[in-house]
Structure 1
Amino acid sequence: MAAPSDTFGVADPSMVPQVVVGGQTFRLIATPHRGGSEVRIHLSNQNRPVPVEFAHVTIAEQAAGATVRADTVREVSFDGSSGVTVPAGGEVVSDPIALSFEAFQPLAVSAYAPGLAVLPTEHFNANATSYYSLPLAGDAAADPSGAALPLSTTSMPFLSGLDVRAPATVSTIVAFGDSITDGYVGGTYLSIPQDPAVVDRNARYPDFLQHRLDEAGLPFTVVDAGISGNRVTRDGLIPQFGPAGVARLQRDAIDRAGVSDVIVLEGINDLGVPIGVDYDQLVAGYTDLIAQLHAAGLAVHLGTLLPAGNALSDGIATLPLAAPVRQRVNAWIRSQTRSDSVIEFDAALRDPADPEVLAPRYAGADNLHPNPAGYRAMAEAVDLSAFRGRCR
């Protein structure tokens, strides 16, 4: 999953400018958590005010970079047609495609947009490198070499998800949250640009959680509905941070195929820069999220907020300082009985010598986002027996 965040992409999280005009082919790299032999793709135009046309779409296994394995290239159709126009504010789902692949095998969805493609709906922080052609370069969707795709981005335009056919006993766990769910790792103390060493590594906590579930033989697939910068109660500070969690919950969690359980880890941005919400507002936001999910028949697993006392963003630059409110919020999360379980992310990653900061071995350069070891520790803090599933 790549939850749509915005349509204002000027630069990606690596601060590389994006050159999206039209007449271009986009080779979008996504790594499914489940293997299979039949897949569908979701193309989104949810945040763009005008339609977008795709004249030719393929899917294949990625070989390296923009190159795909020629023997795996498959044509993609939409209601039997090779092309599709996605209306403003809409999303389309392809016909099922026969393609066999293993879990964590990167797949390349190649889409040729012959007309105007400026301001594409995107997932701002994909943490993976995708490739695209120069404007007006034409259709290269079926070319396995990738030679016509010299540009790259670590955002994800257009592609919002993959569906892999699974047995009825398999359930979906949605990891819903902000940049910490999205797997962002800041490359500097200022949080930007992203750490290039983490891109294409699948080192998000939902990735590590999927490995744990697979090793335990449990019938769950984790989809990542994190949006960097997202907040529970308010839209993001900038468009790339997406709509408020309470507003996007239906689209990004409740409507996911096969969903039974939702992990909610969000709120540090509500408390952070600029002057944040107060305790009562954030608790009301959590109560709203839980009520929406329970009304849909889903189990809710609420995570405690990680410390950020020595971070600039959401830490020392926050007016008022967020730390006292975070402690009150975490105390409420631990004591409330509305959610089906509580996940102690805070206790797993905080520094025993100073509980207001991340343990050094788990902290990224900005002291706000965990590093890959921290994301692994988050996954290990999850009680796998707490997940309900659809068939239990």
Structure 2
Amino acid sequence: MKKILILALAISIWSCNNTKKEESMNIKVEEMGALASGDSVKLYTLKNAAGMEVAIMNLGGTIVKWTAPDKDGVYADITLGSNNPEDYFDNTKYLGALIGRFGNRIAKGKFSIDGQEYTLAINNGPNALHGGLKGFNAVIWDVTPIEGAEPGLKLTYVSKDGEEGYPGTLNVEVVYLLKADNSLSITYTATTDKKTVVNLTNHAYFNLKGEGKGDILDHEISIKADKFLPTDEGLIPTGELKSVVGTPFDFLSSHVIGERINDTTDIDILRGGGYDHCWIFGDSSNTLKSVAFVLEPASGRTMEVFTTEPAVQFYTGNFLNGKATGKSGVRYDKRFGFCLETQHYPDAPNQAAFPSTILLPGETYKTTTVYKFGVKK
């Protein structure tokens, strides 16, 4: 009887260890090398049962690789990126990175809270963009793998009071979770010890034909937004919420991206060099809702975006200029990728009519965005 009990215990221990081994196979960890600063860069690759892979660096919480199947079941990498970690310090592109403390532009790099003015670094013409000279895209995050059939990563970072000019110590947590249905959810959480402003997002560039496979002008997109934000010459919102109806910004029904992107009669298209604007959703609730749908006709790949945020910055890679070489060795020319950056409104700290981006001590900032992939045959 004693031998039977020992054997049963051994089988139980083997079973537990084997299960743990199976689960850990869904997350692969690799060294990408050391930065000039001496920091070690690690790459964490999540894989679901269907075969989708999402690879994320601790540098910037950056999505480096993301595979999705086409209508024939063939997987391809559909996000832009680099094999060299040092390339991700290029603050003109933000390939795949987490963005903070404040995604998008703040006019003249200044804002006030309770009469106290704060000054940020100017890094986009006369304005501040995407968190500053060293935003969240350029820091090393602490990473904790989340094992299981639906693998994930919990990333944390503490942004100290005064970092890049922002007030308050901000404790940030971002959770990536790769689901069985070929969707990736990104949940952002933050708390502060002093009144501050927060607007977090991810800057992944997508090309559903495949990374390095040309431009994205043939993609079809719909956005559930009946208004957008016109901008001045520096791409700062004028304060107007303009109807999309009768403009090149009307994606309430699906349109090919390239159909109206070069409309020289539209001042907002001219100022943005194409699409680089914020669309305001008809449903402004903080519930998770479907807000955009993209189809690449040749491959049949589709992407649907869900978010709790009130807006999205649709950007068509207008400032890609062929100087950056991608993972496949192809240079990224203009419009080789598009972004759907879910967020609050740009320059919200300076525009009282916009939804507030102020976070108070004792409150918790929390938003979720989901990118779900499918096929249309």
State the TM-score, normalized to the length of structure 2: 0.28
More strand, by proportion: 2
State the TM-score, normalized to the length of structure 1: 0.27
Larger Rg: 2
